């Protein structure tokens, strides 16, 4: 063990680190994966571990309470105190619009600002990982790590965990009538009900799981960096610390160069490590590799960066989920309208109730029901996601609309368009080029259009008759393929799920960056562990898979035997080749 002297009960900044201070493991990025790794690697007291986060800590600040309150999620998505607030390049197939990409810049990363929906995707997604060259990452291999991470409010079973750090809750909120109305409408349209979208049968509609515990957000930081973990003598967590680059000696990573996020004239320091692990996410991890000299050699030379290792797949093959919000007026006063800024006294009461007792409307993201469906015959497992909200936001999701309304969010889950991350300059503080290439293929445009039609069909079922008012967006006048496509181009937005910019695969696969052990091809002492290494995006939300991935990677890094493979069965619809539902 390499020993060092900092006390772990505080969260220091870069200024407290000593030049050439040494650690066994340096983890860059205190997000969903980094928090898991910091906990698991430091559980062995013979390892010294440094976790470096650019953003602030997620608790103890005067306004950080908003991170813990589930109902404040939209405020966190637009607040640059805890958020990188990235912007994409203009999107050719979205009327040239630039989309905002919120990404967490705070301890806990995006798990501290997301909608807290816990969804794993489909089992076949992970079997696809295995087939793509990620040996040992099939569903049978990954399910035990999902369970290891989790404590579910409904207790453990073949699919759910019962003693993991991450607290997951299913609310079954019967006092809000629109939730059951949505489920009834979807079943009237012919879709099955599933009692657990993370269990045997993802396909269908049902109640969603959330990373919420006792009325508060359970981020990766809250779950894995508890006070007892932070007081470990062999773990140092620093916040407000910017990593300029990975330091190499030849082809071996030997440390990182850091400085305070607000540099203020501070000179950079080098921190030494036996092993450097990048866990900065699908945008920042490839950017950090490239500014450190790892990437496409021609591009690095054009940017003026000395080439350490030619690895052209860095930043390429990006996948993302694009979605649309369908808004319908509600004829009865049963929506979230009275809990919006239009009624500040009621918002204030919601806040007081949550602060005092962790009860009331502040304890939920209010996205309690949803579904996963196949958008067409020949789709063997769900490729479309629904999330229902008994309220409605504007196109920027900053303010709720004036008047009672409801919305159903529709997201195709297996886009064929591929994007990339590139450098703007050699300066690590310059924001990278983010080009998701949304709707670049005809397949994606057809899938999105089909999704809109299927979503409208559910909203028109008789279960909604007593509530359904006029269609707000799209209006009923939008009917033809061309009209729907035009509406999509104007209103589609990110579902916050970028992945695969440092894909996992065999070293012979030129589209991959790391191997199945998470080691960067052709280099020593350097790994990547975050959503960027997913061989393909999953058919669901990304937070749960990222935490699972880090749990499994921790065992790999420590040299522990993998958990025994699961033989839990998985549902696949009969006649999926010929039937959509």
- From the candidates 210, 381, 497, 521, which is the catalytic residue? 497
Q: Where are the beta strands (DSSP E) in 76-227?
A: 86-87, 100-101, 117-118, 150-152, 166-168, 204-207, 209-210, 212-213, 216-217
C-beta of residue 579 within 8 angstroms of C-beta of residue 573: yes
Same domain, 358 and 440: yes
DSSP 527: E
Task: Look at residue 6 and tell me whether its pLDDT is greater than 50.
Answer: no
Q: What is the pLDDT of residue 401?
A: 64
> Residue 393's pLDDT is what?
76
Average pLDDT of the chain, as a whole number: 94
Give the bridge partners for 91, in sequence order: 97
Question: Could you tell me the pLDDT band of residue 4, with boundaries at 50, 70 and 90?
Answer: very low
Mean pLDDT of 312-334: 98
Query: How far, in Å, CA of 579 to CA of 581, rounded?
Result: 6
Q: Report d(CA 506, CA 133) in Å as an integer.
A: 5
Q: What is the pTM of this model?
A: 0.96
- What confidence tens digit (pLDDT) does each residue in 112-143 have? 999 999 999 999 999 999 999 999 999 999 99
Under DSSP, is residue 566 helix (H, G, I), strand (E, B) or coil? coil
Of the pLDDT bands very low, low, confident and very high (cuts 50, 70, 90), residue 2 is: very low
171 touches 580 (CB < 8 A): no
Residue ranges of alpha helices (H) inside 297-434 are 297-303, 344-357
Question: 30 with 113, same domain?
Answer: yes
Place of tokens 């960096």: 225
- For residue 8, pLDDT beyond 50: no
Copy the structure tokens of residue 481. 């393929």
Q: Could you tell me which residue, 111 or 337, shows the higher pLDDT?
A: 111
Is 581 part of a structural domain of the chain?
no
Whole-angstrom Cα distance, residue 369 to residue 67? Answer: 22
Do residues 405 and 461 both lie within one domain? yes
Q: Can you tell me the mean pLDDT for 390-397?
A: 71
Phi, psi dihedrals of residue 75, rounded to the nearest 5° = -65, -40
Do residue 178 and residue 225 come from a single domain? no
Q: Is there a single domain that holds both residue 150 and residue 73?
A: no
3-state secondary structure of 184: helix
pLDDT in tens, 173-199: 788 999 999 999 999 999 999 999 999
According to the model, what pLDDT value does residue 174 have?
A: 80
What is residue 339's predicted lDDT score, i.e. its pLDDT? 79
In terms of C-beta density within 10 A (0-12 exposed, 13-18 middle, 19 or more buried), how is residue 402 classed? exposed
Would residue 578 count as lying in a domain? no
Shared domain check, 150 and 19? yes
Listed residue (118, 183, 180) closest to 548, CA to CA:
118
Residue percentage of the chain with pLDDT more than 90: 87
Q: Looking at the domain assignment, is residue 15 inside a domain?
A: yes
Task: Find the mean pLDDT for residues 287-292.
Answer: 99
Q: Are residues 151 and 267 in the same domain?
A: yes
Identify whether residues 362 and 281 lie together within a single domain.
Answer: no
d(CA 548, CA 149): 7
Nearest Cα to Cα of residue 484 among 450, 439, 444, 438: 450
User: Domain check: are 163 and 33 in the same one?
Assistant: no
Same domain, 80 and 184: yes
DSSP assigned state of 156: -
Per-residue pLDDT tens over the stretch 203-250: 999 999 999 999 999 999 999 999 999 999 999 999 999 999 999 999
Question: What's the domain range around 516?
Answer: 1-63+102-157+213-318+418-431+499-560
Are 357 and 487 members of one domain? yes
In this model, does residue 396 exceed pLDDT 70?
no
Q: Is 528 annotated as a binding residue?
A: no
Considering the domain boundaries, does residue 478 fall inside one? Answer: yes
In a domain? residue 308: yes
Residue 572 in domain: no
Count of structural domains within the chain: 2
Q: Is residue 575 in a domain? A: no
31-35, 388-392, 433-437: range with lowest mean pLDDT? 388-392
Query: Quick check: 440 pLDDT over 50?
Result: yes
CATH classification of the domain holding 243? 3.50.50.60
In angstroms, rounded to a whole number, what is the distance separating the alpha carbons of residues 503 and 515? Answer: 9
Is residue 9 predicted with pLDDT exceeding 90?
no
Q: Please tell me whether 106 is known to bind a ligand.
A: yes
Lowest mean pLDDT among 37-51, 349-363, 378-392: 349-363
pLDDT band at 308 (very low <50, low <70, confident <90, very high): very high
CATH number for the domain harbouring residue 402 = 3.30.560.10
| End-of-domain residue from the set 494, 517, 537 | 494
Closest CA to 139 of 205, 200, 204: 200
Is 310 designated active site? no
The verdict on residue 580 lying in a domain is: no
């Amino acid at each position: 063990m390499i020993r060092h002297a900092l006390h772990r009960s505080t969260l220091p900044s870069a200024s407290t680190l000593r030049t050439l201070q040494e650690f066994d493991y340096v983890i860059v990025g205190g997000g969903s994966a980094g928090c898991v790794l910091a906990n698991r690697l430091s559980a062995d007291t013979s390892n010294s571990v440094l976790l470096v986060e650019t953003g602030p800590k997620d608790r103890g600040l005067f306004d950080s309470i908003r991170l813990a309150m589930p109902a404040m999620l939209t405020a966190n998505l637009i607040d640059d105190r805890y958020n990188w607030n990235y912007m994409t390049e203009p999107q050719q197939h979205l009327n040239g619009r630039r989309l905002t990409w919120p990404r967490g810049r705070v301890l806990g990363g995006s798990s501290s600002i997301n909608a807290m929906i816990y969804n794993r995707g489909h089992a076949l997604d992970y079997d696809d990982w295995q087939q793509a060259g990620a040996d040992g990452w099939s569903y049978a291999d990954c399910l035990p790590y999902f369970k290891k991470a989790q404590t579910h409010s409904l207790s453990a079973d073949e699919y759910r965990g019962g003693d993991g750090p991450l607290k997951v809750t299913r609310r079954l909120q019967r006092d809000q009538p629109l939730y059951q109305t949505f489920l009834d409408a979807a079943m009237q349209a012919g879709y099955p009900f599933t009692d657990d979208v993370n269990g045997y049968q993802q396909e269908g509609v049902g109640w969603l799981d959330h990373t919420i515990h006792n009325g508060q957000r359970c981020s990766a930081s809250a779950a894995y960096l508890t006070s007892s973990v932070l007081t470990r003598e062999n773990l140092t967590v620093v916040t407000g610390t910017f990593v300029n680059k990975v330091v190499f000696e030849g082809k071996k990573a030997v440390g990182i160069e850091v400085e305070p996020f607000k540099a203020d004239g501070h000179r950079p320091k080098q921190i030494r490590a036996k092993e450097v692990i990048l866990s900065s996410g699908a945008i920042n991890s490839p950017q950090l590799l490239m500014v450190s000299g790892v990437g496409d050699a021609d591009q690095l030379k054009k940017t003026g960066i000395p080439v350490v290792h030619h690895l052209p797949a860095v930043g390429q093959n990006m996948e993302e989920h694009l979605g649309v919000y369908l808004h319908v007026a509600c004829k009865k006063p049963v929506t979230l309208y009275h809990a919006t800024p239009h009624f500040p006294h009621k918002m204030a009461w919601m806040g007081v109730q949550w602060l005092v007792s962790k009860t009331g409307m502040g304890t939920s993201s209010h996205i309690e029901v949803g579904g996963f469906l196949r958008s067409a015959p020949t789709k063997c497992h769900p490729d479309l996601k629904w999330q229902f909200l008994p309220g409605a936001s504007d196109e920027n999701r900053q303010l709720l609309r004036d008047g009672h309304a409801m919305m159903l969010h529709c997201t195709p889950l297996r886009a064929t368009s591929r994007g990339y991350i590139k450098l703007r300059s050699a300066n690590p503080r310059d924001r990278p080029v983010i080009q998701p290439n949304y709707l670049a293929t005809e397949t994606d445009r057809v899938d999105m259009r089909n999704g809109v039609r299927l979503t409208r069909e559910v909203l028109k079922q008789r279960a909604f008759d007593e509530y359904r008012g006029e269609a707000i967006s799209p209006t009923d006048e939008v009917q033809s393929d061309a009209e729907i496509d035009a509406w999509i181009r104007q209103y589609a937005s990110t579902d916050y799920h970028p992945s695969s910019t440092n894909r996992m695969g065999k070293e012979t696969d030129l589209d991959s960056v790391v191997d199945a052990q998470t080691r960067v091809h052709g280099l020593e002492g350097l790994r990547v562990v975050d959503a960027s290494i997913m061989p393909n995006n999953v058919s669901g939300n990304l937070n749960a898979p990222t935490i699972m991935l880090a749990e499994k990677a921790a065992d790999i890094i420590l040299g522990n035997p993998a958990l025994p493979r699961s033989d839990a069965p998985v549902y696949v619809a009969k006649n999926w080749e010929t039937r959509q539902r």
